[in-house]
Amino acid sequence: MTKGKKTAKYKYYKVEGDKVVRLKRFCPKCGPGVFLAEHLNRYSCGRCGYMEWKQPAKKEE
């Protein structure tokens, strides 16, 4: 995290009725509580450096 800026945690969760739904994915190496950052073409973990490429959308003709 950058100095002086707080994380907007309300963007990571959504409340549906009585349940809390997570909107972002967890890092498979770090475990629950560490979210993956979503970039244009990949997901990445800022803690351990794990990275997953997004699958390109298939074109239907």
Establish whether 45 is an annotated binding residue.
yes
Q: How many Cβ atoms sit within 10 Å of the Cβ of residue 30? A: 15
The answer on pLDDT for 12 being more than 80 is yes
For 47, phi and psi rounded to 5 degrees?
-85, -50
Residue 51 parent element (H or E): strand 51-53
Asked whether residue 48 is marked as a ligand-binding residue, the answer is yes
Tens digit of each residue's pLDDT (9 = 90 or more) over 42-52: 999 999 999 99
Helix (H, G, I), strand (E, B) or coil at 10: helix
Q: Is 17 annotated as a binding residue?
A: no
Give me the pLDDT at residue 60, please: 72
CB atoms under 10 Å from CB of 16, counted, come to 7
Task: List the end-to-end C-alpha distance of the chain, in Å, as a whole number.
Answer: 44
* pTM (two decimals): 0.69
